[in-house]
Structure 1
Amino acid sequence: MTSPILVTGGTGTLGGHVLPLLRRAGREVRVLSRHARESADGVEYVACDLLARDGDRALGAALEGVETVLHLAGGPKGDDIATRNLVRAAAAAGVRHFVYISVIGADRVPLGYFRSKLGAERAVAESGLPWTTLRAAQFHDLVLKAVRTMAKMPVVPVPGGIRMQPVDAREVAARLVELALGEPAGLVPDLAGPAVHSMGELARGYLRARGKRRPMLPVRLPGKVGRAYRAAENLSLEGASFGTRTWEEFLAEHAGTVPGGKRSAGGVGSTPGETGM
């Protein structure tokens, strides 16, 4: 009998794709969740907050018998602290493989979120555990959320010079499961989407899919962050792996319209859970 794989962030968008893949691979799955849930479909849920001071006991119980940890949980801040807490407990429990999902540009983009992800990467690499880290581009789901918010305005503000390589969360999930079931590999090639788009292109694609028209207003992102994005520090153009599902294909499923102006199946708002990145 194989040992269970402990997954954090199993209730988010990425986790929702990862869990069934692990189950189809015949693996037992234990999910760390901030809130108690009933176990179902071969998935056991353990309540534990990685940022809580009194979480060590629950974390120790969650790691009992676990040889592989797949760390998907993330948020706008605190990822480095949560990851340090988790790797410390994982090392004490004798975990043999720690897999972490990070973001492309973690070491180049001067935003708090990216710095937190880089701190988490370092916590994993310096833990003494055998490890694998995958940096991925922003998910289609996150880009959809951003452009949908922008498109609610009568004039759509479009940050100039910003380009993105959105990737499908299902392709990231498949790669992570492949890595988790394999041997520790350190920092593996980035995973990005199949095409680079400007923010204007992404917004126009969404508006077309929804059958809407909006004037657009270019805006300049100031400071170090703006310079980093204009220098494409958030992109991975060489030595990366690339998904195959395009932004246009994602939009057709999640933001499309049918004759008569009605939403197609799986329209906007149909994707449950968090975007993760």
Structure 2
Amino acid sequence: MMSADRETNHDMTNSDITLLLADATDEVEIGIAPYEAVIRGGRRRKARRWAVAAATALVIAGSSATLAVAGLPGGSGTVTPPATQAPTATRADLYTPQRTTLATGVEDGKEWRVVIDVWAAPRSEVEAAGQLEAMGEYGDVPSGVTKASELIGKSSYVTFLSDGDSADRDNRRPVYEDAFEVTDDPMKGADVQSAAIPFRTTNEHVQRLVIGMVGRDAEQVTCTWRDGTKTKVDRPGGNTAVGTDQPAIRRAEGSPVDWFVCLAPKGTDYGTADVTAMR
């Protein structure tokens, strides 16, 4: 629910948003992101990277090269549409993400799930301003966005790991964040792109959780772990329904690519993710 200040303050400019987001960013310790350590794949899409692999930042903690996620308080400093503007006919699509659960499981008695939010592309600055406000309420504000106009024509997405059945903004860790654009190269054949983060933050210093994307032609992805073991993820055949507790290549609402999730066994971590079967 919006705060009273945000319900009554309709006069913020994009400059105001920029300053407020910059202030929030100053509070986050950002290190050099070790991209090659966490991103693997073939030919990448041509999308502009807002942030990849652990969303807003990857922090190197000490000499152990432990990856930690720095969250962005996306709710503060965004702007609502001016009071004089009537809501557009597509408000429900623009201001509510299309949410898909990609994977669920239980480890050490604790439930977990991986979810993706996909936001429809706004067509004007007014629509973009309203979407930026809504993203803030969901905790989905892209980390590199400083003004609403940067959302125009882009379908933004955020994937995140959460505990249990909760997708609350305070109970999740972003993993993969970017946007789909009409100028993107389509993913075809063996194209794959993936990112990994530690599955547990308190006692784990290896990248065990892998989230990746593939094209519609991919029938199987194989995640190979550092110890040489493998996890195979298949696309369900026909109208076969596969529960989220079973690895599978899945469609996500609003996404032009398909998604997979792999979790490495304890004691090892991410090696590679490859498309090993195609249509």
Name the TM-score class by shorter chain: under 0.3
More helix by share: 1
Determine which structure has the larger strand proportion and give its number.
2
TM-score by length of 1: 0.25
